[in-house]
């Protein structure tokens, strides 16, 4: 008879109460015309195209549309936003406190030096933006994605928002180095907001220079695409360009200021609104504007909620709570730590945004913190579910002024249900990672037992689950772990490993209509072989800083198919133990 040992999920779910495992309106046309006439020094030029009609007006038909081979007839529009949401009446671009609006008009600042295209996402260009890949080879494309020129008719916007940073209200934040250059409606009828990051100062730049460096831009470009192919809701990255403009950064805030190069990422998402978008309005008592923005977000992005219903904000909040719980459970299933889970970095659409000092956990450790700026370890991987609840509570506080007493009671009950939603999704995902079918009483203990062994042996998170997907049941039964399964080999040295194997094999026998080959095939489709570990990203960054972009492009190929073995990735060691040179790698908020 095998010994049964239970371990709660406290290592992954800490403190949550979870079952046992656990309009000053300004008409836009005069504003933009005034800005264009000003011809501000250092601001973007207009890229004059043959058409300035939005795709909405053109009535795109998917069956008749082919990919655009140039930017001549490809257009963006900001009309959808500025027709409803008020614009800052101050036209000058200087840092200031902004009130009673959602956006400020701010033109990107072009680089002074020549710009080089580092990489593009073929899938984003073709599947989202309806652009043939050949367009990325044109000068017009480089000018557009670097912020040098803007499409005629586009009105670049910087978004005003606030937020709680590391648990403390930080007041006005906003797009301090990002420009929303317009909305594109593609041939599927999807609306995508295009945003340049690192494209210059805005009224929200605070003490910043409006730039992003190559180091952080490579990481954001690669990770946003990698997360998409892992099946995790995320913003996407269309392109990455680098200049020779000098940007000075103190990477680890230790007084060591070094010269780096400025870069720009073109990011796309269905929306860039975040919890902080609503918080700033509630904080300053701009309740009419809060209601206007919230109704706009519901109308545009929450089709299951009737914007005319009295309880629409309750319905909206319920969806955000549910999707946020699911998103964080998905993060945990691949060992992803966001690094800076402030409310201004939490999307209202529950997608992953704002990739900064993130990290994919290597040696399993629920206290893993990728961000060296997080001295108090607030955003450690094992605390992300709790932070999700904290952020949702701040969202609820922001919308509370719009709720009647009954609705306040309902939303409070919805928030109380968050831990159960998170736990349920977490459990489903980890059962799938272990190839378990059906439901058995001991499943929670089996998962927790494995995580306990992984923690004590410091086994690699990604490769433990991947190698469990590849090893046969007979090899496990004999406790003969081949050397190629190096992560499992580490766990096998634990004295309780035979006990866990015995319980696991017994549980697999209860899978109905299953076989070992089916199990392994099923598990290899959910347990990635490759993720963007920090040492892998750092290797690409170091080469990129020497103008060698080969590894950035290799990683694009590999991370596009993270569940499939890739010969070049194997040669590069992406599925091997962390190399000795990378064991003390650090990342920070400096970008």
Question: Which of the residues are catalytic?
Answer: 344
Cα(324)–Cα(330) distance, integer angstroms: 10
C-alpha distances out from residue 24 to 89, 90, 234, Å: 8, 11, 33
How far is C-alpha 339 from the chain's CA centre? 11
Cα(448)–Cα(366) distance, integer angstroms: 12
CA angle 94, 162, 327 (to 5 degrees): 130
What are the structure tokens assigned to 526, written together? Answer: 């959910």
Strands 236-249 and 157-159: unpaired
Three-state SS for 494-515 is CCCHHHHHHHHHHHHCCCCCCC
- The secondary structure element, H or E, covering residue 217 is helix 214-229
Q: Check: CB of residue 317 under 8 Å from CB of residue 411.
A: yes
CA angle 21, 326, 501 (to 5 degrees): 40
| Dihedral over alpha carbons 37, 39, 45, 49 (to 10 degrees) | 10
Q: Which of 429, 458, 520 lies closest to 9, judged by CA? A: 429
Q: Which of 448, 421, 578 lies closest to 17, judged by CA? A: 421
Alpha helix stretches (DSSP H) within 93-164: 122-123, 139-146
What is the DSSP secondary structure assignment for residue 346, as one 8-state letter? Answer: B
Cα(198)–Cα(146) distance, integer angstroms: 9
What are the structure tokens assigned to 315, written together? Answer: 């319905």
Q: Which of 213, 165, 173, 455 lies closest to 339, judged by CA? A: 165
Q: Which of 348, 522, 542 lies closest to 435, judged by CA? A: 522
Strands 149-151 and 45-47: parallel
**Does residue 370 sit in helix, strand or coil?**
coil
Cα(522)–Cα(370) distance, integer angstroms: 30
Cα(314)–Cα(303) distance, integer angstroms: 14
What are the structure tokens assigned to 522, written together? Answer: 């099923």
Beta bridge partners of 193: 183, 269
Q: Check: CB of residue 433 under 8 Å from CB of residue 526.
A: yes
Q: CA-based Rg of the chain, rounded to a whole angstrom? A: 25
């Amino acid at each position: 008879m095998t010994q049964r040992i239970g371990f709660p999920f406290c290592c992954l779910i800490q403190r949550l109460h979870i079952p046992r495992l656990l309009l000053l309106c300004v008409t836009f046309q005069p504003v933009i015309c005034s800005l264009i006439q000003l011809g501000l020094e250092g601001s973007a030029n207009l890229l004059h195209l043959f058409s300035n009609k939005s795709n909405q007006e053109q009535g795109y038909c998917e069956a008749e549309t082919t990919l655009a081979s140039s930017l001549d007839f490809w257009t963006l529009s900001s009309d959808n936003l500025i027709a409803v949401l008020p614009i800052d009446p101050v036209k000058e671009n200087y840092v200031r406190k902004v009130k009673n609006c959602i956006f400020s008009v701010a033109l990107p600042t072009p680089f002074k030096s020549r710009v080089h295209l580092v990489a593009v996402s073929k899938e984003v260009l073709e599947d989202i933006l309806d652009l043939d890949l050949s367009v990325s080879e044109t000068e017009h494309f480089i000018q557009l994605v670097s912020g040098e020129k803007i499409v005629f008719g586009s009105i670049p916007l910087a978004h005003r928002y606030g937020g709680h940073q590391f648990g403390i209200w930080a007041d006005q934040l906003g797009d301090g180095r990002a420009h929303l250059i317009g909305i594109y409606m593609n041939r599927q009828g999807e609306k995508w907001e295009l945003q340049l990051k690192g494209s210059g100062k805005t009224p929200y730049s605070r003490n910043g220079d409006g730039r992003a460096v190559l180091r952080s831009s490579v990481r954001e470009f690669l990770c946003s695409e990698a997360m998409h192919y892992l099946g995790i809701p995320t913003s996407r990255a269309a392109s990455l360009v680098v200049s020779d403009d000098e940007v000075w950064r103190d990477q680890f805030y230790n007084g060591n200021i070094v010269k780096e190069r400025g870069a720009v990422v073109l990011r796309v998402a269905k929306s860039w609104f975040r919890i902080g978008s609503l918080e700033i309005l509630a904080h300053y008592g701009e309740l009419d504007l809060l209601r206007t923005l919230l109704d706009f977000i519901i109308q545009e992005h929450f089709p299951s909620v009737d914007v005319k219903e009295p309880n629409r904000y309750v319905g909206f909040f319920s969806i955000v709570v549910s999707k946020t719980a699911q998103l964080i459970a998905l993060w945990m299933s691949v060992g992803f730590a966001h690094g800076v889970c402030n409310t201004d970095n939490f999307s209202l659409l529950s997608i992953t945004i704002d990739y900064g000092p993130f990290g994919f956990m290597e040696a399993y450790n629920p206290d893993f913190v990728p961000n060296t700026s997080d001295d108090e370890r607030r955003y450690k991987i094992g605390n992300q579910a709790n932070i999700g609840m904290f952020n949702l509570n701040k969202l609820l506080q922001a919308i509370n002024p719009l709720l009647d007493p009954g609705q306040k009671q309902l939303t409070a009950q919805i928030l109380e249900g968050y831990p159960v939603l998170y736990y349920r999704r977490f459990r489903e995902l980890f059962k799938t990672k272990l190839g378990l079918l059906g439901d058995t009483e001991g499943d929670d203990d089996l998962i927790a037992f494995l995580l306990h062994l992984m923690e004590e042996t410091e086994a690699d998170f990604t490769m433990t689950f991947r190698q469990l997907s590849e090893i046969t049941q007979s090899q496990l039964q004999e406790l003969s772990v081949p050397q190629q399964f190096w992560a499992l080999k580490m766990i096998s040295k634990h004295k309780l490993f035979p006990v866990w194997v015995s319980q696991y094999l017994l549980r697999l026998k209860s899978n109905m209509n299953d076989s070992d080959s089916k199990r392994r095939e099923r598990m290899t489709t959910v347990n990635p072989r490759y993720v963007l570990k920090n040492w892998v990203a750092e290797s690409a960054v170091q080469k990129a800083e020497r103008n060698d972009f080969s590894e950035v492009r290799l990683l694009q190929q590999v991370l596009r198919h993270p569940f499939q073995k890739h010969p070049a990735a194997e040669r590069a060691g992406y599925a091997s133990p962390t190399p000795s040179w990378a064991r003390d790698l650090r990342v920070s908020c400096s970008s």
